[in-house]
Amino acid sequence: MSYAPNTPIDLIAVDLSRPAADQAQPLHNRWHPDIPPVATVATGVPFRAEAIDWTGGQIANNDDASDVRDIDLRRCHHLSGPIRVEEDGVPAAPGDLLVVDICDIGPLRGHEWGYTGIFDAANGGGFLCDDFPEAGKAIWDFDGKFTSSRHIPGVRFAGMTHPGLIGTAPSAELLAEWNRREGDLVATGEERLTLPKHLATRPLACLPEPAGALLGAIKADHPDHDRIAAEAARTIPGREHGGNCDIKNLCVGSRVYLPVFVEGAHLSFGDLHFSQGDGEVTFCGAIEMSGYAVFKASLIRGGVQKYLTPTCASKPLSVYPLFEVSPIEPRYTEWLVFEGQSVDASGAQHYLDASISYKMCVRNAIAYLSKFGYTAAQVYLLLSCCPCEGRISGIVDVPNCCTTLAVPTRIFDQDIRPCRDGPPVGPRLITRGECARPR
């Protein structure tokens, strides 16, 4: 006898020539348990599923960042799925751990490019919105596993390709908890909680928003459509089910353990990243792309109780994913590392604030690297998408939290380490052009 090859089954396809809202297998951009699966898969079977970039095609391969400036965030993220998972014909059950092997991810043939954007302040901005209030964009071309950009010349690196977003569907109970706590934040957050106001140029949270909602097979004329659209959670943050965690290390070759909250697990994914830096600091900050993924699922029955513990004792569903990293992450030996402390740009001292510390750390890195022929915006884009590592190095030394940002020196075509002569000046300085601005 002869065997069939181990070709992944084709589970979900997208057609980039059609609108994101009009795909044969409908996409969704909200989380809700009532969004029906678009496909079913058995454990142990590799499957291929495609996804449109997170904006659903709003960004073009050009030199004009006005599309980033004018993006409609209510339509994001465009997700493929949900996928119902079964083992021996029995669906995944709440309380199981869904194990997903991330076997492969890549761009769609004919679409070997991606983008990194700086969000305009009017659209919420990014992590350093105060410094970079204006929209910007860099287009990245892919050479196999590597990428380079006409907007940030002189750098080239291998992708740590990953799904920025992968998660199971929430149960009605978990969804209600999300809406409760995020609603609380919006309603009373500025007074009740510890808000780093300097960051708050953006909405505190994105509550359910019927406008722009895509609910998969639940179309506008479906009797439940309006109810679901009003209840369904936005996809912006990561949560207990995984979701938009934006972890660069969740890349090809890793294995993630996701809690199951609904029968069948209802796995969805999207927001494919060719590469990302820790923090994804420009917000639209990874190298965003349309692409395909190959996954393989298995189940640990009852795994939530076996392995996980609620972070909030009174909320049994407050359990979070874990994962194993890949042996094929790109590795670097030489890193240049920048430091930040909890003193903000006005010189004010904060208390063990890792967010402010990391902000200052990223600013230090940008200022340094800008001495090598780049504009600050180019470096900001680069640190958002290259494989840099952002670490919480010390978080107990009152009042400062020390964070560090490590940049692999190999990705540059010049030596960026300090030397006696200082950075290149005069004839030695090669100006590295500009990233895209709105026209």
Note whether 104 binds a copy of itself by CB under 8 A: yes
Note whether 16 binds a copy of itself by CB under 8 A: no
138 neighbors 171 (Cβ within 8 angstroms)? no
72, 172, 173, 418: residue in contact with a copy of itself (rule CB under 8 A): 418
Region from 25-33, 221-229, 262-270, 350-358 binding a copy of itself, contact rule CB under 8 A: 350-358
173 neighbors 94 (Cβ within 8 angstroms)? no
C-beta of 66 vs 249, nearer to a copy of itself: 249
> Smallest distance, Å, CB 263 to a copy of itself?
20
Cβ density class 165-193: b for 16+ within 10 Å, e for less: bbbbbbbeebbebbbeebeebeeebeeee
37, 95, 126, 154: residue in contact with a copy of itself (rule CB under 8 A): 126
- Which pair of structure tokens corresponds to residue 68? 């980033």
Note whether 76 binds a copy of itself by CB under 8 A: no
Note whether 40 binds a copy of itself by CB under 8 A: no
| H or E element that contains 368 | helix 354-369
Note whether 312 binds a copy of itself by CB under 8 A: yes
Instruction: Report the sign of the C-alpha dihedral through residues 384, 387, 388, 391, in that order.
Output: positive
SS3 state of residue 189? helix
Distance in angstroms (rounded) separating the CA atoms of residues 314 and 86: 30
Note whether 120 binds a copy of itself by CB under 8 A: no
- Which pair of structure tokens corresponds to residue 289? 């792309």
Note whether 331 binds a copy of itself by CB under 8 A: yes
List, in sequence order, every residue forming a beta bridge with 291; answer none if it has no partner: 51, 107
88, 223, 314, 431: residue in contact with a copy of itself (rule CB under 8 A): 314
β-pairing, 47-51 vs 238-239, is unpaired
Binding marks (x or -) toward a copy of itself, 264..303, rule CB under 8 A? --------------xxxxxx-x--------x-x---xxxx
C-beta of 218 vs 241, nearer to a copy of itself: 241
Integer CA distances (angstroms), 433 to 103, 150, 272, 302, 427, in order: 37, 9, 28, 55, 16
C-beta of 21 vs 146, nearer to a copy of itself: 146
In the chain, the largest separation of any two C-alpha atoms, in whole Å, equals 74
Q: What residues between 226 and 245 interact with a copy of itself by CB under 8 A?
A: 236-240, 244-245
Note whether 39 binds a copy of itself by CB under 8 A: no
Note whether 9 binds a copy of itself by CB under 8 A: no
112, 130, 134, 209: residue in contact with a copy of itself (rule CB under 8 A): 112
